[in-house]
Homo-oligomer: A and B are copies of this chain.
Amino acid sequence: MTLVLDELGVDYVEGGWPGSNPKDEEYFKEIKKYSLSHAKVAAFSSTRRKDTKPSEDPSLNAVLRTDVDTAVLFGKSWVLHVNEVLKVSREDNLEMIYDSISYLKSHGLDVIFDAEHFYQGFKDDPDYALSVVKTAEDAGAKVVVLADTNGAMMPNEVYEITKRVVGTVRIKIGLHMHNDSGCAVANTVMGVLAGARHVQGTINGIGERTGNADLVQVIPNLIIKVGLRALNGSSSLRKLREVSRLVYELAGLQPNPYQPYVGDYAFTHKAGVHVDAVLKNPRAYEHIDPETVGNSRRFILSELSGSSNLVVYLEENGIKVDKKDERVKRALMRIKELENKGYSFDLAPASAVLIALKELNLYREMIKVEYWRVIDESGVNLAVVKVNGQLEVAEGVGPVHAVDLALRRALQKIYPELSRVTLTDYRVVLPSEVKNTESLVRVTAEFTDGVRRWRTIGVSTSVIKASIEALVNGLDYYLQLSRLRVIEGAQRSP
């Protein structure tokens, strides 16, 4: 991940808090094996403990042991924290900050000082909060970062307070915003407009409580909207969606489809009037060109959409039809009918395309599932499938996985081109309240052939049945489009 951030052009990667846990210690050992083109790895730590000399403080010494060039040191700037959490005098707190920075500086490190709770501290006692910034400046810090640790601030307050600080000290000012009031991104922008020139945040905003400022939103706002130079400019912007996805995957989290700039829905148009207008001029309902940030335009089908959405969809799939064609209208009606029965084609347009192909008489049956049976027994999951006359058995980590393997094994004997298709994502959407499990289970699946990606859906009262529908749809979609010669480079099936 550090290497990816380096390639993105960030100046610093805060690698962890050495001494707080073994995982972070391990990181600093490991990262030394790599050479970074631009980014510096920084180690995080608090200021020294009270009544301890810096040279005897375990956390500061753990930073030295990591052998990094830069430390990010956090200290208190709100009297509430000084009095009630640290329980030291105001003067002692300033000394702890001064000492800790000096100690690290004397060992040749650059120090970025994070003034925790700066904004709330400033509102309570501006003189004390400013004295913390000045102490860090005097001790030789490279940057002082003003933190809204509790995410308490409104954008106008951030602007005014940051401007006061920038006008008072000479040191470079940075920002660290949390999202508890839903303003972390906006507050970062306002702080930069007030003169801050160093920004902290996380990819996808992952962090305590509601999270930190999401860099995936902050970066394009600063480059595209405010017009600043940052990172490697447009080449960094184009990587944003990819970097965002990678972080979700490493963190084991599902991507947020509504995420500004990089989410699946960020440039997805649903309402019929929006689709019509975007076809005339994308600027009509898009604030930027989606390609700028590595994203793409999508149209979705739903009860709100008209024939335009479906026609656009089919065109994207290489099938030209007339919006006024009766068969298009019939396909749309069939889609709406299925949506009433629990299907949702928003995220499974490939299944909608299959329905349209049937109404357009372009569909030919290519997969016929004749029999399936799943056997689960303490730890072993087997699936037996008979499809297009081929009987196959497979073992998987779960029943659905076993079915997927058995299906493919059987079908690849007849359609070898299916070896290009891989399943990239698979989700079971159970009814949110299990007391209603009598209701329907939805399964969505995502496939790729290395060039394009497509999603399908299956709905049933049985998870396995719904999964088979989604899996078969995904393979069928590829076969149908190959047969119609829509997918370039694919072998034509018999």
A positions within 8 Å CB-CB of B: 20-21, 23, 46, 80-81, 84-85, 149-152, 154-156, 159, 179-183, 185-187, 189-190, 193, 205, 208-211, 214, 217, 220-221, 225-226, 248-249, 252, 254, 256, 258-261, 263, 265-271, 273-274, 276-277, 280-281, 283-288, 303-304, 344, 371-379, 381, 396-401, 404, 422-435, 437-438, 441, 461-465
User: Cβ of A225: which chain B residues have Cβ within 8 Å of it?
Assistant: 152, 154, 181
Distance between A297 CB and nearest chain B CB, rounded to angstroms:
11
**Across the A-B interface, the 4 shortest Cβ-Cβ residue pairs:** A186-B186, A152-B287, A398-B463, A374-B376
Complex Cα distance, B378 from A254, in Å, reads 30
Contact call A397/B284, Cβ cutoff below 8 A: no
What number of copies of this chain does the assembly contain? 2
Contact call B180/A186, Cβ cutoff below 8 A: no
Complex Cα distance, B287 from A154, in Å, reads 12
Known A397-B441, A464-B376; contact A210-B274, beta-carbon cutoff 8 A: no
> Closest residue to A154 on the B side, CB-wise?
B225
Complex Cα distance, B464 from A46, in Å, reads 45
For this complex, 9 residue pairs linking A to B, each with C-beta atoms less than 8 Å apart, are A80-B283, A85-B284, A155-B155, A182-B186, A185-B186, A209-B285, A379-B461, A381-B464, A426-B430
Known A432-B249, A438-B397; contact A221-B154, beta-carbon cutoff 8 A: yes
Complex Cα distance, B187 from A49, in Å, reads 41
Complex Cα distance, B44 from A273, in Å, reads 14
Known A181-B225, A209-B266, A435-B424; contact A277-B155, beta-carbon cutoff 8 A: no
User: Cβ of A256: which chain B residues have Cβ within 8 Å of it?
Assistant: 256
Distance between A30 CB and nearest chain B CB, rounded to angstroms:
16
Known A265-B209, A401-B434; contact A155-B379, beta-carbon cutoff 8 A: no
Distance between A241 CB and nearest chain B CB, rounded to angstroms:
14
User: Cβ of A180: which chain B residues have Cβ within 8 Å of it?
Assistant: 260-261, 266, 287
